[in-house]
């Protein structure tokens, strides 16, 4: 119910000379892949990413909200728009962990993950307090660097094959 209205880009440095660009894409509504709202515009932005972070609230504002249903709706929009977008690496990031009493956290996290389906990895964070954000940031950086290394290797192999002709 509350989301950014326009995509935002930001550079995140984890150390000197180690940084990546992250895009905050507004939430998608059902029918976005079919042109409802500005969703198709947002989906085009996602096509240029290397990794999708699916941010889910473990403590939604609306007590009747169903974060698992909402997550599946978004995944279906990704699939309908572009199967390769749906197949991109996607991590689940469970936010607002600070709003759940400690004695309930493990059970609520497990229920959310079970409903969401196969996910690896999964992070729990609090955007408000910053808990869990540093490990997530470093994991993103590692993923980006690994992708860059793999791309360099593929490019080097392609260049070698081209020179053999």
Backbone φ and ψ of 33, nearest 5°:
-65, -20
Residue 28: predicted pLDDT? 65
Per-residue pLDDT of the chain (165 residues; tens, 9 = 90+): 556 667 788 999 999 999 999 988 776 666 666 665 566 667 777 788 889 998 888 987 788 888 888 888 888 888 888 898 889 899 999 999 999 999 999 999 998 899 888 788 999 999 999 999 999 999 999 999 998 888 777 666 666 666 665
Q: Give this prediction's pTM.
A: 0.81
Residue 132: predicted pLDDT? 97
Residue 159: predicted pLDDT? 62
Q: Which residues contact 21 (CB under 8 A, 6 or more apart)?
A: 9, 10, 11, 12
Q: Hey, is 54 helix, strand or coil?
A: strand
How far is 12 from 143, CA to CA, in rounded Å? Answer: 14
């Amino acid at each position: 119910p509350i989301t950014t209205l326009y995509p935002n880009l930001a550079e995140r440095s984890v150390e000197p000379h180690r940084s990546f660009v992250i895009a905050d894409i507004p939430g998608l509504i059902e029918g976005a892949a079919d042109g409802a709202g500005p969703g198709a515009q947002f989906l085009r932005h996602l096509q240029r990413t290397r990794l999708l972070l699916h941010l889910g609230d473990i403590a939604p504002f609306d007590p009747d909200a169903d974060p698992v249903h909402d997550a599946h709706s978004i995944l279906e929009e990704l699939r309908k728009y572009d199967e390769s977008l749906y197949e991109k690496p996607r991590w689940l990031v469970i936010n607002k962990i600070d709003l759940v009493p400690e004695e309930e956290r493990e059970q609520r996290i497990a229920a959310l993950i079970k409903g969401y389906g196969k996910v690896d990895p999964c992070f729990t964070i609090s955007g408000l307090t910053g808990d869990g954000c540093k490990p997530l940031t470093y994991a993103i950086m590692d993923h980006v660097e690994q992708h860059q290394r793999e791309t360099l290797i593929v490019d080097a192999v392609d260049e070698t094959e081209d020179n053999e002709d």
